[in-house]
Structure 1
Amino acid sequence: MALNILFIGGTGQISYPCVERAVAQGHAVSVYNRGKRESALPAGVKSIIGDLGGPEYAGLAKAKFDVVCQFIAFTPDQVARDIEVFTGHCGQYIFISSASVYEKPARHYVITEQTPAINPYWPYSQAKIDCENLLLAARGLDWTIVRPSHTVRTGLPIMMGDSDVMARRMLDGEPTIVAGDGRTPWTLTRSVDFAVPFIGLFGNKAALNEIFHITNDKAHIWDDIQKAIARLLGVEAKIVHVPTDTLIRYNPEWVGPLIGDKAWTAIFDNSKIKSVVGDFTCAQSLEEILAEPIQHLKQRLAMQRPPRGEFDALVDRICREQSALG
């Protein structure tokens, strides 16, 4: 059944393939954003230009969309406004949260939706938890919360810092850092694979007032991820392993992305989402998972290589001092 869908966002890392998939499935799709991204929207998509905090935002309720997909709300005040705007004015409100909300470290090595949402390390995740709690308490709005994990399309998966700089370091034969011993399993999901089950939630009564994560079933260790990136770039990875506790002493801003996320094992049980939308598959090999991000990287590097700067100096210092320990 064709539905009237609104994407708030729609041209981002995860949302753009979801827009493409929704159009391919025959839905009427509108995208609300500032219209500043380079990606052209698929044919037939209605573009609505506006700001998330603009006075025109409340007018979206008049269209009575069947499904509203919120991809760019990151703070409780933004979700509180959505609850005010869309309650009674849409069939289903889908909030994109994050799998980083899950308890760190998880008490069981396989994460399910029953894993507590507790992250004392990362303000980003804490804000997402607060957003979720507002929806849990809302009345009169049928919501669905979706928690993506590390989802890739244009950017390369690294543990901290700028991925283009890390790739440039690889190409220049310079060392790169992996936190810990490099053997922690981590789950990567292509955005195009995420889109298939995500669209299956649209108008699905079994999805109303429920929380789902959508991820790959397979994980890869961080060393293999970094080696695969280097291999696809035609070079050899020169990995320096550094304890996480040491890294955050060099840069306290890494506490969130490391101790609050990537330093821990991330293996997910996707049985709940599959029970609602049916089975789905994701790319398994790193070569297939990384193919699109590598293509985007090469296009960016062809236009401009990132210059050396403070981040390079910090990485050089960490690698030099860690290697001096023998």
Structure 2
Amino acid sequence: MAMTVLFIGGTGQISYPCVADAVARGHKVSVYNRGKRADALPAGVTSIIGDLAGPDYAELDKLKFDVVCQFIAFTPDQVGRDIEIFSGQCGQYIFISSASVYEKPASHYVITEKTPAINPFWPYSQAKIACENLLRDANGLDWTIVRPSHTVRTGLPIMMGDADIMARRMLDGDPTIVAGDGHTPWTLTRSVDFAVPFVGLFGNKRALGEIFHITNDRAHIWDDIQKAIARLLGVEAKIVHVPTDTLVRYNPEWIGPLTGDKAWTAIFDNSKIKSVVGDFSCAESLDEILAEPIQHLKRRLATQRPPKGEFDALVDRICNDQGALGRL
């Protein structure tokens, strides 16, 4: 059944393929954002230009949608405003949270939706948890919460820092860093694969008042991920392993993305989402998962190669210090 769908965002890392999939299924799609992304929207999509923080955003309460997909709210005040605007104005409000909300460290190595949402290390995840709690307490708004894990389309998966700089370091033959021993399993999901089950939630009564993560069933260790990136760039990865606690001492801002996320095993049970929308498959090989991000990277590097700067100096310092350990 065709529905009227509003994407708040719609041109981002995850949302863009979801818009395309929704259109392909015959839904009438509108996209609300600032209109600054270069990617062309699929034919038939209505573009509404505006800012999430602007007064025009409240005007959306004059429109009615079957489904509203919120991709760019990150704080409780933003979600609180959505609750005011869309209560009674839409059939289903879908909030994009994050799998980083899950308990760190997890009490079980396989993550399900029953895994507690407790992340004492990352303010980003804590804000997402607060957003979820607001929705769960809301009256008059039928909600669904979706928690993507590490989903890739335009950006390469690294553990911390700037991915384009890390890739440029690989191309230059410089060392790159992996936290820990590099054998931690980590799940990568293509955005185009995420889109299929995500759009399957639209108008699904079994999804109302429920939380789902949508991820690949297959995980890869971090060393293999970095080696695959280097190989696809035509070079060999020079990986330096550094304990997570040590990295955080060099840069306290890394405690969120590392101790609060990527330093831990991330393997997901997708039984719940499959029981609601049906089975789906995701690309499993790293070559297939990384193909699109590598293409985007090469296009960016062809026009602007990131210059060396403070991040390079920090990575070089850490690698040199780590390499000096044990020397007489």
| TM-score, normalising length: structure 1 | 1.00
Distance 1:15 1:174 in 2: 34
Query: Would you say 1:183 and 2:180 are equivalent positions?
Result: no
Instruction: State yes or no: 1:312 paired with 2:312.
Output: yes
Cα RMSD of the aligned pairs, angstroms, is 0.4
> Aligned partners of 2:74 and 2:249: how far apart in 1?
27
Give the equivalent residue in structure 2 for 1:286: 286
SS in 2 for 1:194: helix
Paired position in structure 2 for 1:33: 33
Q: Does 1:258 align with 2:258?
A: yes
Deviation of 1:61 (Å):
2.0
| Counterpart for residue 277 of structure 2 | 277
SS at match of 1:187: strand
Question: What secondary structure is seen at the aligned counterpart in 2 of 1:203?
Answer: coil
Instruction: Trace 1:110-125 onto structure 2 (pairs within 5 A).
Output: 110-125=110-125
Structure 2 counterpart of 1:289, one-letter code = I
- The alignment status of 1:13 with 2:13, answered yes or no, reads yes
Please name the residue that 1:82 is paired with.
82
Query: How many Å separate the matches in 1 of 2:55 and 2:300?
Result: 35
- For residues 220 and 313 of structure 1, what CA distance do their matches in structure 2 show? 29
Aligned length: 326
SS where residue 91 of structure 1 aligns? strand
Q: Does 1:101 align with 2:120?
A: no
Name 2:200's counterpart in structure 1: 200
Query: How far is the alpha carbon of 1:62 from its aligned partner?
Result: 1.8
Matched residue SS, 1:151 = strand
How much does 1:56 deviate?
A: 1.2
Amino acid at match of 1:212: F
- Unaligned runs of 5+ residues in structure 2 are none
Aligned amino acid, residue 32 of structure 1: Y
For residues 230 and 43 of structure 2, the distance between their equivalents in structure 1, rounded to whole angstroms, comes to: 36
Corresponding position of 1:42: 42
Q: Distance in 2 between matches of 1:144 and 1:194?
A: 16
Is residue 2:242 matched to residue 1:228?
A: no
Cα deviations by residue, 1:110-156 (Å, 9 ceiling, x for unpaired): 00000000000000000000000000000110000000000000000
3-state SS of 1:302 partner: helix
Q: Distance in 2 between matches of 1:235 and 1:99?
A: 32
Q: Partner of 1:183: helix, strand, or coil?
A: coil
**Is residue 240 of structure 2 the alignment partner of residue 240 of structure 1?**
yes
Moved over 2 A (4+): none
Name the amino acid aligned to 2:158. I
Aligned partners of 1:323, 1:29: CA distance in 2, in Å? 54
Structure 1 residues 10-33: Cα deviation after superposition (integer angstroms, max 9, x where no partner): 000000000000000000000000
How many angstroms does 1:63 deviate by?
Answer: 1.7
- Secondary structure of the equivalent of 1:170? helix
What is the identity percentage for the equivalent residue pairs of Structure 1 and Structure 2?
A: 86
Q: Answer yes or no: is the 8 Å Cα contact 1:61–1:90 preserved in 2.
A: no
Q: TM-score, normalised by structure 2?
A: 0.99
5+ unaligned residues in a row in structure 1: which ranges? Answer: none
SS in structure 1 at match of 2:256: helix
CA drift at 1:53: 1.3
Cα separation, 2, equivalents of 1:54 and 1:182: 44
Aligned to 1:60: 60
Equivalent position of 1:141 in the other structure: 141
Measured after TM superposition, the shift of residue 57 of structure 1 is 1.0
Aligned to 1:169: 169
